[in-house]
Amino acid sequence: MKTFNKILLSLTLFTGLCCLTIPGYSQGEKLTRQEKKEVRKAVLARNFEILDSLINARSFVLSADFLQSRTGEVIPVVSTLNFIKVDKDRGTLQTGANSGMGYNGVGGVTAEGRIGTWKLTKDVKKQYYMLHFSLDTQLGNYDVFLTVSADNHASATISGLGPGRLTWNGHIATLNNARIFKGQNSI
C-alpha cells in the first residue's frame, strides 16, 4: 500500500509540475510541435507505469461514461453508478440510473463476487493493456474483457452465459479516488 501511495503521490506531483511548466512557456516562448509531442510522450509513459501498478495490484475501478449494447446503441450514463470494481480477489459489476429504484436501489443491477481466471497482456510499444478475467457472482458467471490505453481510456465488454453482452466505456481510477456509489446486491 505504501508503494501505491508513493506512485499516486508521484503522479499528482508530475501532473502538477506539467501544469506549472507548460503555462510558463506561454509567456515568452511557445512550445514547438516537437516539444509538445515529447511532453505528451513522457506523460503517457508515466501513465502507463501507473496503470501497470494498478492493474497488477488488482485494485482499480472502471467508471463508465457510456454503456454500449450488443446492437451498438451507446447510452450516456452516470459514472458514479455505472462501474466495474476490482479489489484483490473480489469484483463488482453495477449498472444504475438517477431515476427509478431497480433491483439494487439505484435503478439497475449490482453483481458482486469472486474473481476467477485472470490473464493480463500488455503492449509496451502501443502502451495499452488487455485483461481478461472471470467473475463468479450471485447472478451468474461473467467474462470481462478489459482494454486500457495509456491515456486512461478504458473499455470493458461483459458477457455471461446468455447471448447478451454489455460494454462499459470510461476511465480507470484508484479505489480511493473513484467516486462511486455501490447499491445493494441484486439478490
The stretch 150-167 carries a mean pLDDT of: 90
Instruction: Determine which helix (DSSP H) or strand (DSSP E) holds 55, and give its type and residue range.
Output: helix 33-56
pLDDT at 14: 54
For residues 143-168, average pLDDT: 92
- Domain positions in the chain: 2-55, 58-173
**Stretch 88-109: mean pLDDT, rounded?**
84
Report, as an integer, the average pLDDT of 117-145: 94
Which residue type is seen at 26? S
* Among candidate residues 183, 2, 3, the one with its CA nearest the CA of residue 93: 183
Report the CATH architecture of 58-173. Answer: Beta Barrel (2.40)
CB atoms inside a 10 Å sphere around CB 43 = 15
pLDDT at residue 3 is higher than 70: no
Q: pLDDT-derived band of residue 64, with 50, 70 and 90 as boundaries?
A: very high
The three cell numbers of residue 97 are 440510473
- For the chain, the farthest-separated pair of C-alpha atoms sits apart, in whole angstroms, at 62
Picking from 14-28, 68-82, 119-133, 145-159, which range would have the lowest pLDDT averaged per residue? 14-28
Is 60 exceeded by the pLDDT of residue 180? yes
**Chain segment 7-53, per-residue pLDDT in tens:** 554 555 455 555 555 554 445 578 888 998 999 899 999 999 999 99
Q: For position 12, what pLDDT does the model report? A: 53
Q: Enter the C-alpha cell of residue 5.
A: 501511495
> What span, in angstroms and rounded, lies between the C-alpha atoms of 21 and 178?
27
The pTM score is 0.77
Rounded average pLDDT over 116-128:
93
